[in-house]
Amino acid sequence: MGKKYSIYIKPLVIFVDLLIISGITYFFSDKEYLNITFLTYILVSWLLIAFYTKYYNVYRYTHVLKIGTLIVSQFFVFILSFLAYFTIFREGIVVNRQLEVVMSIIAFSVISKLLFFFLLRSYRVAGKNYRNVIVFGENSASKNIAKIFNKRPDLGYRYFGFFTDNKNNSEKHLGTFDEGLEYIINANVDEVYCEVSTLTEKQLNKVRVFSNKNKIELRLIPQSNAIYSKNYMLEYYGTIPVLKPQKLPFEKFETHLIKRVFDVLFSLFICLMVFWWLLPIVYILVKLDSKGPLFFKQKRDGINGKQFYCYKFRSMKINIDADRVQAIKNDERITKFGAFLRRTSLDELPQFFNVLKGEMSVVGPRPHINIQTEKYLKEIDNYIIRNSVKPGITGLAQISGYRGEVIKKSDIKNRVKFDVFYIENWSFSLDVKIIFQTFFKVLIGQDKAY
């Protein structure tokens, strides 16, 4: 399993666990167990419990004792949840094979988890599934972490060497601080470790910005008396403390799962409740207003820059500038009915089809036309961060007043600021809040809705 496939390990482990639970349920099948209600209950319970116990937060440096703690936490709550089913849905009826079912799930799941854990370690000893690492610094803490990398091949780290501005004759001294930043790209480095006591605050900030821009994992080796920020989590490599930046919401598998489930359910609701009667009306009025198709499609940037066709109800006359010039106030290209569609944001409704296709999300940064994206990538700091998530039908920037025409540079700067804030601070409740405020803004109208 190569480095690029590491992201699939966690989903694979989750899938195997769900398969084990389903298989055991089928094996002990009878009228009490072989039903959708019971199977759905225990599968959903398992996932929710795993989310809160962090059962799947196992990393290459995780100690086997930590695995044991996770197993105990997970199954203690799961057993209670499993038995509670028969109280909630069966009014206290005791089924003879309850114990057999739950003990079988525990046994096979534990075996599976430990098997994955030790097989991966053996795989890494063979030189597979590795991470290329370097260290900035030269004191005792950085030397100790380097020893762990060299002595523990089962962790899967390839230690290239260290960088420091101080002169050093060690064969592992690869150059100065500035040379290290260039080396990261040329040597395909995956993780960077910085010794806090060695680097200046300016250098640490430089490494952090560089790592974020190039999607390099950053770790800090703290001083023994360091005060840990809430933005970092403490991990141990053996007995050596290492500070790891807290994962952003969209770096977590569960965030994408929650958003995708909500996107599909919400979009289906809109399509089934609204489209069946609205579509014929819009079709007739668009056709009466001007010649051309009902739908307008335009290439936009999606997640990671992947292009897709974004759909809208056509609100303009057919024109050659559609892909080059953004709509402005009193734009002559906009039809009479098109003005109504844009003012009420009804022209955006076909994007729920984009959501169902997985190209967009209900909430996220609004996608711009390609010519704007090319321009803003060069001019606006952090603009590229918007491409790390799926674009949305609505977003935090839109409900905050930054939608539509970009008149001055501060408009796009503030839009990006709100988009980045959304990405770094996502929560399900924030999505719900944005959706409700979007409906409210549509009802009262917005100045830039043209």
**CATH number, domain containing residue 224:** 3.40.50.720
- Domain match, 238 and 268 both: no
Alpha-carbon distance values, 101 to 20, 28, 91, 123, 293 (Å): 11, 7, 19, 32, 58
Q: Is residue 53 part of a domain?
A: yes
Are 121 and 145 found together in one domain? no
Closest CA to 115 of 64, 55, 42, 46: 64
Q: Can you tell me the mean pLDDT for 119-146? A: 82
Residue 14 within a domain: yes
Q: Could you tell me the sign of the dihedral formed by the alpha carbons of 112, 113, 114, 119, in that order?
A: positive
- Residue 318 domain-assigned? yes
| 338 and 432 fall within a common domain | yes
Q: Are 219 and 271 in a shared domain?
A: no
**Is residue 31 predicted with pLDDT exceeding 80?**
no
98-125 vs 64-88: helix axis angle to the nearest 10?
160
| Final residue before a domain boundary, out of 103, 125, 147 | 125
Question: Domain boundary residue among 192, 218, 246?
Answer: 246
In a domain, 382, yes or no: yes
The model's pTM: 0.59
Q: Where are the beta strands (DSSP E) in 223-313?
A: 232-237, 240-245, 295-301, 307-313
Buried/exposed code over 96-120 (b: 16+ C-beta within 10 A; e: otherwise): eebeebbebbbebbeeebeebeeeb
**Residue 449 lies inside a defined structural domain of this protein:** no
Query: pLDDT tens-digit profile of 422-440?
Result: 998 898 989 999 999 898 8
Do 136 and 201 reside in the same domain of the chain? yes
Please report which confidence band the pLDDT of residue 228 belongs to, taking 50, 70 and 90 as the band edges.
very low
388 and 272 both lie in a single domain? yes
Question: Residue 133 pLDDT > 80, yes or no?
Answer: yes
pLDDT at residue 233 in the model: 61
Which CA distances in Å does 108 have to 21, 22, 45, 120?
9, 12, 17, 18
260 and 365 inside one domain: yes
Say whether both 326 and 290 belong to one domain.
yes
Q: Which residue in this structure is represented by tokens 């409900």?
A: 399
Nearest Cα to Cα of residue 238 among 113, 136, 149, 158: 149
CA atoms of 80 and 84, how far apart (whole Å): 6
Whether residues 293 and 257 fall in one domain = yes
Domain match, 81 and 158 both: no
Residue 450: inside a domain: no
Determine the number of helices (DSSP H) and then strands (DSSP E) in the chain.
15, 11
- Please indicate, yes or no, if residue 383 is contained in any of the structural domains: yes
Number of neighbours of residue 13 by Cβ within 10 angstroms: 18
> 29, 97 in Cβ contact below 8 A?
no
CA–CA separation, 1 and 7 (whole Å): 11
Bridge partners, residue 371, by sequence = none
Quick one: 7 exposed, middle or buried, by C-beta within 10 A (0-12, 13-18, 19+)? exposed
In a 10 Å sphere around its CB, with 0-12 CB exposed, 13-18 middle and 19+ buried, how is residue 259 labelled? buried
Confidence (pLDDT) at 244: 65
Residue 372: give the domain boundaries: 253-444
Residue 231 sits in the same domain as residue 266: no
Q: Are 114 and 141 in contact (CB under 8 A)?
A: no
Structural domain count, the chain: 3
Looking at per-residue pLDDT, the higher value among 140 and 228 belongs to: 140
pLDDT attached to residue 4: 55
Domain boundary, last residue among 90, 125, 160: 125
Task: Indicate the pLDDT class of residue 195, thresholds 50, 70 and 90.
Answer: confident
Instruction: Reply yes or no on whether the pLDDT at 411 is more than 90.
Output: no
Q: Is residue 341 part of a domain?
A: yes
Q: What is the pLDDT of residue 1?
A: 47
Region 199-212: mean pLDDT is 83
287 and 351 part of one domain: yes
- Binned at pLDDT 50, 70 and 90, residue 290 comes out as confident
Structure tokens at 326: 């953004």
SS3 321: coil
